[in-house]
A and B are shown apart, each in its own frame.
Chain A
Amino acid sequence: MLKKLYKYDWKSVSMILLILHGVLLAYSIIGRLAITIGENMASGRGENFDTHLSLSTTIFGLGAVAYIMIYAIFIIGIVLATILYLAVRMQKSLFSEEGYLTNTLPVSCDKILWSKILVFWTWSIIDFLCVALSIFILVSYPDTMPDIVEGFHSFFGSLFGLGGFNAMLEALGVVLGLLIQYFFYFTALILFSICLGSLFKTHKTLGALVAFFGINMGQSIVMLILMFIIPPLSPISTVVTTESGKVISSTGGSGNAQTIFLLSWYLILSIVFYLGSRYIMTKKLNLD
């Protein structure tokens, strides 16, 4: 049943998102072609964009600036729009008129929730890959390729232990942190906020938004307080040394402890949010 739910949830969101991401890639390819044509024309006349020798290179330069500005807005817009659209679809499917169908299907609440989560994850990955591919299309030139390859090499080298154990741990912490924060915490928070919003008598969408930002701020404050009161997690470190540089005393948290704490914190919150969503769906469902 989860597979079937996923299939229909996927269908219900994918048309618009596919078009949106297709436009982004097309825009990137057009930009890349324009840059290549512009460069070839300029180099054919012995000019370049940096020196602005002629009107045509100046126009090309201005065009490039406008293109990059629109591109930056497009990239930010598409990431936000994807998240927002998926959240709105989740809300509609669970708690609007469509909820009458979703909630009368002979499937468990867990499967309904997981179907939404899996579609959210899938589109988040596609979104990330499209944005990465789009940037790659625009920045990959013979001149820049060595730097790009070196960046990848350095990052994955650290991740697979080529730069030493500590570097690997650090890279692993960063990757795990990002994955848990986005795929677990952020997704579960969106779902939980939508469920909380459904409990409001009116203005359910506003309720979901208030819940989302309120919970996010609240958990950040609690997390900071905990980090300040638990010495190994403290973000402030002090080191007292002698004139010769010998360490007399030092206070403050360790990087590893902070990483483990943050990973656990977000993982626990994700579980709490999921269970909260499940509780609302099974015990407090209230379709007007």
Chain B
Amino acid sequence: MNPILECKDLTKRYGNKTALDQISFSLMPGKIIGLLGPNGSGKTTLIKLLNGLLVPTEGHIFIDGLTPGVETKKFVSYLPERTYLNSWMKVCDIIDYFQDFYENFDKARAYDMLKRLNINPSDRLRTMSKGTKEKVQLILVMSRRARLYCLDEPIAGVDPAARDYILSTIIQNYDENATIIISTHLISDVENILDDVVFIQNGHIRMVDSVENIRFNQGKSVDALFREVFKC
């Protein structure tokens, strides 16, 4: 089985600042993986590289053996940490947009999730609150039958009730063969749904392990280990 994500000596520099420094690791498919690290550790940079929004300074990144490009974008579903939808559009327009461009988009699933959240498909995005926009964005991303979901800080900045909804949406709407990478620093909220974790700090990979191993071998929760590893 090929790794779904493989980084080889991957480096990304912004001017003099090194965001990722020769990182090498690989992730196998079919798991929910937490990309965990404090703010500014390089999580978003790694996810952007994976989605082709940044170009590596050095090294390589492969998604299912392919470099990021048109082919990988067909099966990678990306939720950025910001709102990227055109505010002039109605929710139903955005659903049509996703269906037009992504072959694996499930329109019925999207409308079903909207209905459960009482979001009117005829509403324009500019009339919605930030939280509702984020929910719409998550619905769009999770309505794709993708092989890899990249969720960048999906629960940051939302209330605990919304966090529960977001996490349950993620769990209920992904194919078991698919992989989910969740980038966050809110460990305790996501710990229960993770299979593996990647600890990242100052552009270096500190640890790649399964949650089971951490609990069994170290006798700690991921949250406790995170606090220990990233102690200030």
Q: For residue B70, which residues in chain A have a CB less than 8 angstroms away from its CB?
A: 106-108
A283 at the interface (CB under 8 A from B): yes
Residue pair A8, B52 in contact (C-beta under 8 Å): no
Query: Measuring CB to CB, which residues of chain B are less than 8 angstroms from any residue of chain A?
Result: 14-15, 48, 51-55, 70-71, 73-74, 76, 78, 80, 82-86, 88, 97, 100-102
A45 at the interface (CB under 8 A from B): no
Report the bound CA distance from A4 to B80 in whole Å: 23
Chain B residue nearest to A108 in the complex (CB): B70
Report the bound CA distance from A285 to B69 in whole Å: 12
B84 CB contact (under 8 Å) in A1, A97, A283, A284: A97
A147 at the interface (CB under 8 A from B): no
The minimal Cβ–Cβ distance linking A57 to chain B, given in whole angstroms, is: 48
- 17 more CB-based (< 8 A) A-B contacts, given A8-B100, A285-B54, A286-B14: A4-B101, A8-B97, A97-B84, A99-B84, A100-B53, A100-B78, A100-B82, A100-B84, A103-B51, A104-B51, A104-B73, A104-B78, A106-B102, A108-B70, A201-B14, A201-B15, A284-B55
Residue pair B84, A106 in contact (C-beta under 8 Å): no
Q: For residue A15, which residues in chain B have a CB less than 8 angstroms away from its CB?
A: 88
Q: For residue B51, which residues in chain A have a CB less than 8 angstroms away from its CB?
A: 103-104
| Residues from 70 to 113 in A contacting B, C-beta threshold 8 Å | 97-101, 103-108
A54 at the interface (CB under 8 A from B): no
Residue pair B101, A106 in contact (C-beta under 8 Å): yes
Residue pair B53, A285 in contact (C-beta under 8 Å): yes
Report the bound CA distance from A107 to B51 in whole Å: 13
Report the bound CA distance from A231 to B51 in whole Å: 53
A174 at the interface (CB under 8 A from B): no
The minimal Cβ–Cβ distance linking A11 to chain B, given in whole angstroms, is: 8
The minimal Cβ–Cβ distance linking B12 to chain A, given in whole angstroms, is: 10
A264 at the interface (CB under 8 A from B): no
B73 CB contact (under 8 Å) in A7, A99, A105: A105
Q: For residue A284, which residues in chain B have a CB less than 8 angstroms away from its CB?
A: 55
Q: For residue A126, which residues in chain B have a CB less than 8 angstroms away from its CB?
A: none
Report the bound CA distance from A104 to B70 in whole Å: 8
User: What string of 1s and 0s marks CB contacts (under 8 Å) between A250-288 and chain B?
Assistant: 000000000000000000000000000000000111110
Report the bound CA distance from A165 to B102 in whole Å: 54
User: What string of 1s and 0s marks CB contacts (under 8 Å) between A1-13 and chain B?
Assistant: 1001001100010
Q: For residue A105, which residues in chain B have a CB less than 8 angstroms away from its CB?
A: 73, 101
B101 CB contact (under 8 Å) in A97, A98, A107, A201: A107
The 10 lowest CB-CB distance pairs between A and B, nearest first, are: A100-B84, A106-B73, A106-B74, A287-B53, A101-B84, A100-B80, A4-B100, A97-B84, A105-B101, A104-B78
Count, chain A residues at interface, CB 8 A: 23
Report the bound CA distance from A100 to B83 in whole Å: 9
- Beyond A98-B84, A104-B73, is A283–B97 a contact (Cβ under 8 Å)? no
Residue pair B52, A104 in contact (C-beta under 8 Å): yes
Residue pair B52, A97 in contact (C-beta under 8 Å): no
Report the bound CA distance from A15 to B124 in whole Å: 15
Report the bound CA distance from A103 to B50 in whole Å: 12
The minimal Cβ–Cβ distance linking A222 to chain B, given in whole angstroms, is: 30
Listed A/B pairs (19) with beta-carbon separation below 8 Å: A1-B101, A12-B86, A97-B83, A97-B84, A98-B85, A100-B78, A100-B82, A100-B84, A104-B51, A104-B52, A104-B53, A104-B76, A106-B73, A106-B74, A201-B15, A283-B55, A284-B55, A285-B52, A286-B55
Q: For residue B15, which residues in chain A have a CB less than 8 angstroms away from its CB?
A: 201
The minimal Cβ–Cβ distance linking B138 to chain A, given in whole angstroms, is: 14
Chain A residue nearest to B103 in the complex (CB): A106
Q: For residue A287, which residues in chain B have a CB less than 8 angstroms away from its CB?
A: 48, 53-54
| Residues from 103 to 129 in A contacting B, C-beta threshold 8 Å | 103-108
Q: For residue A4, which residues in chain B have a CB less than 8 angstroms away from its CB?
A: 100-101
Chain B residue nearest to A201 in the complex (CB): B15
The minimal Cβ–Cβ distance linking A228 to chain B, given in whole angstroms, is: 41
Chain B residue nearest to A97 in the complex (CB): B84
Report the bound CA distance from A1 to B70 in whole Å: 12
Which of B78, B83, B88, B101 has the most CB atoms of chain A within a 10 A radius of its CB?
B101
Report the bound CA distance from A131 to B86 in whole Å: 30
Report the bound CA distance from A107 to B15 in whole Å: 29
Report the bound CA distance from A286 to B14 in whole Å: 9
Q: For residue B54, which residues in chain A have a CB less than 8 angstroms away from its CB?
A: 285-287
